[in-house]
Copies of this chain bind each other. A is one copy, B any other.
Amino acid sequence: MNVAVIGLGLIGGSLLRALAADGHRVTGYDAGAETREAARAQARSSGSTDAWRVADSIAEAVADTEVAVLAVPLPAIPGVLAGLGGYPGLITDVTSVKGPVRNLIGDRRFVGGHPMAGKESSGFAAGDPRLFDGCAWVLCLEPGDTDPADWLALARLFTRLGARVVPVTAAEHDRAVAGISHVPHLLAAALSGVLAGNPLAGTLAAGSFRDGTRVAATRPELIAAMCGGNAPAVRQVLAAVIDDLASFARELELDDPIAALTAGLRPSSELRRAWPPRPGEPVEVPADVEALLALGRAGGWVSAIKDGKVMGLRPETDRNGS
């Protein structure tokens, strides 16, 4: 396919390399002149068989392409959409909230995406063509809105890079990532607060504190942008977590606190021990919206699209609390 990648940071830069290595004709663009030059230099040094082009404008980058991947942060999306003008191709993105992006897109041909990939370092130089191998890549599917052919074209593109393509609605995605990514940052922050005015606690703290607070060292601006961009879902999950903690506190006031708390902790302990889920055998999935969404809701994903057949996997047993 002819694909444009707009934004050449860690995700965009990795995607440029991965799609080129998979034999696609790829054109990249970045708002930063230095990043464009770095991407051009690497294309020259990597030889002609799997190299990519780098354009000097969004319009030049997307000319004659079938797919444009917007690999820029949420605040940069409106500017890129303006640069796309009347682009007739399929648009996807890689941002970590899906409802807000959908609201910005209007009635363009669009399938929202979110690869759950990352690493400590960032920028084009940190890019890695194998970054998506084995990672979950959410592709949004909205009944009555998304064109299934568009969705399947992107699923084919990304499964070939090794990604597990997860079909969900934008709302389901935003609620799930509130629980597994955004709220964990708030819990880590609250737990770090136990050090306030208590240097003794800092000296005694070891493994359970270290792991439980690791992501609290993230810059507060980044945590706030992540949670604030998904505020309704984050508030909902946070309220449920606070309820659970208040239950534990009540159990500790009962006559037999140890028995009460043991019973109260058992469900979450079983959920955690069953995680991560083990994938079962690949099965063919009907290529219709409801069947795909049912696969995603069951914790499954599309692993390959071959000869028009959609192959999917779901967790081996129903150990995940559903």
Chain A residues close to B by CB (< 8 Å): 116, 136, 138, 164, 166, 168, 172-173, 175-177, 179-181, 183-209, 211-221, 223-225, 227-229, 231, 234-235, 237-242, 244-246, 248-249, 252-253, 257-263, 265-269, 271-273, 275-277, 296-301, 315, 318, 320-322
Contact = CB atoms under 8 A, between A and B. Distances in A.
A217 B272 contact: yes
Nearest to A203: B299
A168 to B, nearest CB: 6
A241 B191 contact: yes
A268 B192 CA distance: 5
16 contacts: A166-B200, A166-B204, A185-B208, A186-B245, A189-B248, A192-B272, A196-B267, A200-B297, A202-B321, A205-B275, A208-B215, A213-B275, A223-B265, A227-B257, A227-B261, A245-B245
A245 B187 contact: yes
Contacts of A244: 189-190, 193
Contact of A194 (B205, B216, B237, B277): B237
A299 B200 contact: yes
A194 B245 CA distance: 13
B166 A180 contact: no
> How many copies make up the complex?
2
B192 A187 contact: no
Contacts of A184: 191, 208-209, 212
Closest 5 CB pairs of A and B: A199-B299, A179-B194, A228-B258, A220-B265, A224-B261
A116 to B, nearest CB: 5
Contacts of A194: 179-180, 183, 237, 240-241
Contacts of A188: 208, 212, 272
Contacts of A297: 199-200
Nearest to A265: B220
Nearest to A237: B194
B269 A186 contact: no
Q: Which of A186, A204, A260 has the most CB of B within 10 A?
A: A204
Contacts of A238: 245, 248-249, 252
A87 to B, nearest CB: 29
A269 B116 contact: no
A298 to B, nearest CB: 6
Q: Which of A219, A246, A249, A318 has the most CB of B within 10 A?
A: A249
A321 B116 CA distance: 35
Contact of A301 (B185, B203, B241, B248): B203
Contacts of A265: 189, 220, 223-224
